[in-house]
Amino acid sequence: MMELLTTRVMAHVRRLPEGTPVAAKELLHLGNRAAVDQALSRLARRGQLLRIGRGLYVLPVECRFGVRPPETSLVVQAIAEQRGESIVPSGAAAANELGLTTQVPVREVYLTSGPTRKLKLGQQSIELRHVPSWQLVLQGRPAGTAIRALAWLGPEHAGQGVAVLRQRLPVLEMRAVAAVRSMLPTWLAQQVSVMAGDV
């Protein structure tokens, strides 16, 4: 009976897009909670599923080099959609993307409206760090990336970042940054005002 449930769980998980996490609550149509929990644990012990967090599992990806964890960005995006959270790359990643630092973040950190927690994707540790809502504004836009980068640089170095961003950001994105300055901490709102100038 347990083997049948395990097979049904695997069949369900295989139909999901790469990186989609699954938890026992989503599988209760297949069996009771205790049985589903046991099936997920058994599949993780066998290496057929990866346990990425408490009660959270994903299907590893089979490729010509063997088995690998799914892409981090896909897992994070799926969690955001499943949980209704806003999740964006950290300020360090934003600063690197915009050329404000050559430092490549050692750990993968994402900022979230949800609780702080850690995920484990194979050997890689990913941190989802709860932050105030202003750090999550303008998600998916260069303007939002700029705000997170400046926040990471902090009051001491943001001025240098502003000088670079004035050259790199399109006018439309600078206007978008300026439009949300009332949500930002005072020091950052001042820097954003300098960056936006009279655009």
Amino acid identity, position 32: N
Cα separation of 150 and 26, whole Å? Answer: 39
Q: What is the mean pLDDT of the chain?
A: 90
What predicted TM-score, i.e. pTM, was given to this entire model?
0.84
Q: Which helix (H) or strand (E) holds 195?
A: helix 186-196
In the DSSP assignment, the letter for residue 49 is: S
Residues 6+ apart with CB under 8 A from 150: 91, 158, 161, 162, 165, 188, 191, 192
* Residue 115 near residue 130 (C-beta atoms within 8 A): yes
Q: Residue 195 CA to chain centroid, in angstroms?
A: 27
Question: What distance in Å separates the CA atoms of residue 152 and residue 101, rounded to the nearest whole number?
Answer: 11
Residue 53: pLDDT over 60: yes
Kindly indicate the confidence band of residue 132, based on its pLDDT and cuts at 50, 70 and 90.
very high
The answer to whether 55 touches 48, Cβ cutoff 8 Å, is: no
Cα distances from 81 to residues 40, 154, 184, in angstroms, run: 22, 30, 26
Q: How confident is the model at residue 2 (pLDDT cuts 50, 70, 90)?
A: low
User: Which of 25-34, 126-135, 143-152 is least confident?
Assistant: 25-34
Domains in the chain (CATH in brackets) are: 2-68 (1.10.10.10), 73-196 (no CATH)
CB atoms within 10 A of CB 3: 9
pLDDT at 42 (0 to 100): 92
- pLDDT band for position 48 (cuts 50, 70, 90): very high
Q: Which of 45-49, 75-79, 86-90, 120-124 has the lowest mean pLDDT?
A: 120-124
